[in-house]
């Protein structure tokens, strides 16, 4: 029967001691083979080293550019706004609380789906169809 008095710890494997004579199995070259770059200390090239041939990041042409001023909007559909029923106004903070967006940055509302009840929606951008659907259901659109 298993009790606290007869518990044993896990069996531990002793550390491999290299360079301790030929009888140990890892003597002389310490299991690193004969001469060469990989047998020396610190002697392993970086993982993307290609043996001296022209590396792939230099072989491929550069294309395009990255616009550092691009605005990234989080997208919310009109059909998703139904989760925020009964809350007035529906702000990005409320949307984050309800799990519609991940962070409270810039939010854009798109017009996919239908909206049953009237909501007062605050966001940074609205598509034309989203704005029409929100106002049709008796709600209000506010640009932040």
Domains and CATH numbers, the chain: 73-143 (3.100.10.10)
Q: 73 in helix, strand or coil?
A: strand
pLDDT at 65: 94
- pLDDT at residue 120, rounded to an integer: 92
- Tens of pLDDT, residue by residue, the chain (144 residues): 889 999 999 999 999 999 999 898 889 998 888 998 889 988 889 999 999 999 999 999 999 999 999 999 999 999 999 888 888 889 999 999 989 999 888 999 999 999 888 999 999 999 999 999 999 999 999 998
Cβ 90 vs Cβ 122: under 8 Å: yes
What pLDDT does residue 144 have? 86
Write the DSSP symbol of residue 98: T
Question: With left for phi above 0 and alpha for psi between -120 and 50, is residue 138 left, alpha or beta?
Answer: left
Q: Give Cβ neighbours of residue 18 (< 8 Å, ≥ 6 apart).
A: 24, 26, 27, 30, 31
Q: How many whole angstroms separate alpha carbon 38 and alpha carbon 21?
A: 21
pLDDT at 96: 92
Distance CA 32, CA 29 (A): 6
């Amino acid at each position: 029967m298993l009790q606290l008095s007869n518990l044993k710890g896990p069996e531990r494997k002793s550390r491999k001691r290299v360079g301790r004579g030929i009888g140990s199995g890892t003597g002389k070259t310490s299991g690193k083979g004969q001469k060469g770059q990989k047998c020396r200390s610190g002697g392993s090239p970086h993982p993307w080293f290609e043996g001296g041939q022209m590396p792939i990041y230099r072989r491929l042409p550069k294309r395009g550019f990255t616009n550092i001023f691009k605005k990234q909007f989080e997208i919310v559909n009109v059909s998703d706004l139904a989760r925020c029923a009964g809350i007035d106004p529906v702000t990005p903070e409320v949307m984050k609380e309800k799990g519609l967006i991940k962070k409270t940055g810039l939010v854009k509302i798109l017009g996919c789906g239908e909206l049953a009840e009237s909501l007062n929606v605050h966001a940074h951008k609205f598509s034309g169809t989203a704005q029409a659907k929100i106002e049709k259901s008796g709600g209000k659109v506010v640009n932040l």
